[in-house]
Structure 1
Amino acid sequence: MNKTTLLGTSLLLCAGAATAADYQVETLADGLSNPWSLAFLPDGGMLVTERSGQLRLIDAAGQLRAEPVAGVPEAFVNGQSGLMEVALAPDFAESGELFLSYSCGTREANHTCLAAATFNGEALENTHEIFRVQPAKKGSAHYGGRIAFLPDNTLLLTLGDGFDYREQAQNTANHLGSIVRLNRDGSAPEDNPFVGQADAMPELYSIGHRNVQGILVDDAGRVFSHEHGPRGGDEINLIEAGKNYGWPKITYGIDYNGSQISPYTELPGLEQPLVYWDPSIAPSGMTLYQGELFPEWQGSLLVSALAGKEVRRVELKGNAAGEQESLFTELGERFRDVRTGPDGAVYLLTDSPSGQLLRVVPAN
């Protein structure tokens, strides 16, 4: 473990927000190649994905193993593409099953893919693809890639619109710009909202998304997600089965060249976000903090941000968003992922060719 410790105090953005927390930041691992996702193992170790295609093991003693975990599917690595999420099955302690999202194919024809495998403590076994977004697309942007499990043991996989294919986010005949719900073997559950509809993919759970890179399911079964907007218009949404979240028919952002994407921020039948950010913070990961180390953050969404170089804390008040707080800005890092650890600490991955795994605990 790197014992470097930085002290900080969170910055309140809204008058009346909860008391700011004092914390210290420890470096657990560095030299990671654009780390993307983090999962906590039952024995106290961790798995970390690197977008460049490697799965790394940090053992229970806190040591980063020098050699990547074997058995990882080959990813198409270019631009935003590569190996993305690692997510442990709810029964991982018994089954050893985990899931990996990644981009597969070539620059001319690629997909977001999902694989299942068994982790034996050292390597992956029986790695096999269970789902592939259709159709193939060109380019290397907007893959989504986050995974969450619903209480019924099905999983949600977030997707992107492929950047150059944004109109397809309104087309139920493909998977682009959606969130899909899958059984653990990759098949479509029979009670998915679009099953039986003509010209609709049976895996679809919600549509009208741009690039969803944060998702979680709380203890009540509510699904929260966030997605990248263009210039402005990043969103947090409360996801309901079968709903249309509007992209690109409605948006609070504009195109990168300054042109208008849509004249509308709301239209009948299209869902409104709980939160939108303008200017963009580029949200990249999300956790619901339910630890004991930071009681002032209890029940809040923590959203890691790339362009914002912060973690944004968003208070929840029922099904609505409350006040916000900006965390960890003094580090000056692009944050790719944020997780609540089993110990109640907050864990961060920094987005860099030499990225870090950081642990945030209360200041002494």
Structure 2
Amino acid sequence: MAFGLALASCGTAALPSEDRPATGGKPFKVAPVANFDTPWAMTFLPGSTNALVSEKDGRLWVVDTASGARTAVTGVPTVKVAGQGGLGDVVIGPDNRVYLSFVEGGPGGTSGAAVGYGRLVESAGTYALQDFRIVWRQDPKVTGAGHFSHRIAFGPDGAMYVTSGERQKGDPAQAMDKNLGKVLRLTPEGQPFPGNPWAAKGGVTAQLWSMGHRNLLGLAFAPDGKLWEHEMGPQGGDEVNLITPGKNYGWPVVSNGSDYGGGDIPDHPTRPEFEAPKVWWNPSISPAGLIVYTGDLFPAWKGDLLLGALSGQSLIRVDVTGDQAKKAERWDMGARIREVEQGPKGEIYLLEDGGRLLKLTPA
């Protein structure tokens, strides 16, 4: 995603009313917790107010969200840091294993995302990630430093779902023999999960759950088991999608945005065989980070999506009813929001892109 172009489009076009940040008071108060250089993702440790926070430059921290104290975690894999790539998502998987996504280099200047796991061990106030092993890789590795995506979510079926961006190449999103531009359904050990839509084809095709995606930077399960995803469009056309197995979401054949420079891309309604987004934005907001809110502190938001906006510098709520979604509220945060996470008491945490960890509680 060319963030500069997206930001320029946001600055030069009139925003529809539902796309404008709210001008009234926010329903939450904001408290800074800690500061980071390149924060990317966070997750809470089970039964704890401590969180793991990843930084794109390859660092992983245990953060005491009550005091803001940070402790570095050793044993993190070596990552390739370039462009949009580096250390990415961090989630807690089965048996309390810590799963990380990250970018690794390949031959001839290529790179690709990978996912692996280790066990977090604490000793005398220090933390180490032990016995780390890689269980999945993007295939193929390609040149360029964008659209890795590599978000991770574990489903109620026990499967590991991974977003794999199309690496700014477009066409791989429609190629069945590549796992780029896809949502993947894997076992916790990185193998194709039984019953995947194209399992009979074998190889990387057996990993695929859905296809036709661009740069997928949000992935979250709702309590009813529905899987929600968002992704960046090109110049406009950012999407929120309800992910259905075996469906094709159309990129790069269709998009509600345009090519950079203004080239036309057919809109979704012109090709009904592709799954259309439930919500979309023109101009771009550059969505990043996604949760389905389940807490009690903001009861009116239960079951709704909360997502950050990079170029849009906002926190956004999308109202969800069953399999339908619509834009609800957008709050100007004055900074690029990279990550959204729910705390153990229903509070909301945001990571600014290259900035602070913020805690949101009711005003």
TM-score higher than 0.5: yes
Name the structure 2 match of 1:104. 104
Q: Distance in 2 between matches of 1:337 and 1:257?
A: 29
For the residue of structure 2 that corresponds to 1:120, the secondary structure is: strand
Q: Distance in 2 between matches of 1:264 and 1:273?
A: 8
Paired residue total: 339
Work out the CA distance in 1 between the residues paired with 2:69 and 2:318. 32
Cα distance change of structure 1 residues 82 and 287 upon mapping to structure 2, 3 Å threshold = same
Shift of 1:98: 1.4
The CA deviation at 1:199 is 7.6
Structure-1-length-normalised TM-score: 0.88
- Correspondence for 2:43: 39
- Equivalent residue letter for 1:338: V
Aligned to 2:118: 117
Percent of counterpart pairs with the same letter? 37
Give yes or no for contact 1:56–1:64 (8 Å, CA) kept in 2: no
Distance 1:265 1:250, change over 3 A: farther
Q: Is the 8 A contact 1:104 1:112 kept in 2?
A: yes
Amino acid at match of 2:215: N
Distance (Å, rounded) in 2 between the aligned partners of 1:23 and 1:264: 36
- Matched residue of 1:296: which SS? helix
In structure 2, the partner of 1:299 is: 303
CA gap 1:266/1:150 in 2 versus in 1, 3 angstroms? farther
Please point out which of 127, 135, 150 is paired with 2:132: 127
Contact 1:50 1:83 in 2 (8 A): yes
290-299 or 336-345, which deviates more: 290-299
Q: Distance in 1 between matches of 2:198 and 2:328?
A: 35
Q: Is the aligned partner of 1:82 residue 2:86? A: yes
Distance 2:329 2:26 in 1: 10
- Any idea what the Cα deviations from partners look like across 1:239-293, whole Å, max 9, x if unmatched? 0111100001111011111112346644142101100100010001111112111
Structure 2 residue matching 1:201: 3-state secondary structure: helix
Q: CA deviation at 1:65?
A: 2.5
Match of 1:337 in 2: 339
More helix by share: 2
Contact persistence 1:96–1:120 (CA under 8 A): no
Query: How far off is 1:198 after superposition?
Result: 7.1
Does residue 1:157 correspond to 2:124, yes or no? no
How far 1:20 moved relative to its partner? 7.5
Of 345, 350, 353, the match for 1:351: 353
Structure 2 residue 220 is matched with structure 1 residue 219 = no
Q: Does 1:146 align with 2:151?
A: yes
1:1-364 matches, cutoff 5 A: 13=18, 22-30=27-35, 32-41=36-45, 42-59=47-64, 61-66=66-71, 68-89=72-93, 91=94, 95-106=95-106, 108-121=109-122, 122-163=127-168, 165-197=169-201, 201-262=205-266, 265-327=269-331, 329=332, 331-352=333-354, 355-363=355-363
Contact 1:43 1:60 (C-alpha < 8 Å) held by counterparts? no
CA distance in 2: counterparts of 1:323 and 1:84, whole angstroms: 27
Match of 1:7 in 2: none
2-structure distance, mates of 1:266, 1:358: 42
Q: Distance in 2 between matches of 1:151 and 1:108?
A: 38
- Give the secondary-structure state (helix, strand or coil) at the position aligned to 2:205: coil
C-alpha RMSD of matched pairs (Å): 2.1
What amino acid sits opposite 2:230 in the alignment?
A: H
CA distance in 2, matches of 1:266, 1:137: 31
| Structure-2-length-normalised TM-score | 0.89
- Post-superposition shift, 1:60? 6.5
Distance 1:251 1:274, change over 3 A: same
How far apart are the structure 2 equivalents of 1:49 and 1:225? Answer: 21
Give, as a single letter, the amino acid of the residue that structure 1 aligns with 2:131: N
Shift of 1:21: 5.4
The one-letter code matched in structure 2 to 1:146 is: R
Shift of 1:190: 2.4
In structure 2, the residue corresponding to 1:202 is in which secondary structure? helix
CA distance in structure 2 between the aligned counterparts of 1:240 and 1:187, rounded to whole angstroms: 20
Q: Distance in 1 between matches of 2:198 and 2:160?
A: 16
Select between 188-197 and 165-174 the one with higher mean Cα deviation: 188-197
CA deviation vs aligned residue, 1:195-230 (integer Å, no higher than 9, x gap)? 113786211111000010001111111000000000
CA distance in 2 between partners of 1:143 and 1:215 (Å): 14
Q: 1:276 to 1:323 in 2, by over 3 A?
A: closer
Distance in structure 2 (CA, Å) of the matches to 1:81 and 1:323? 30
User: Secondary structure at 2:200's aligned position in 1?
Assistant: coil
Contact 1:193/1:242 (<8 A) preserved: yes
Q: Secondary structure at the match of 2:73?
A: coil
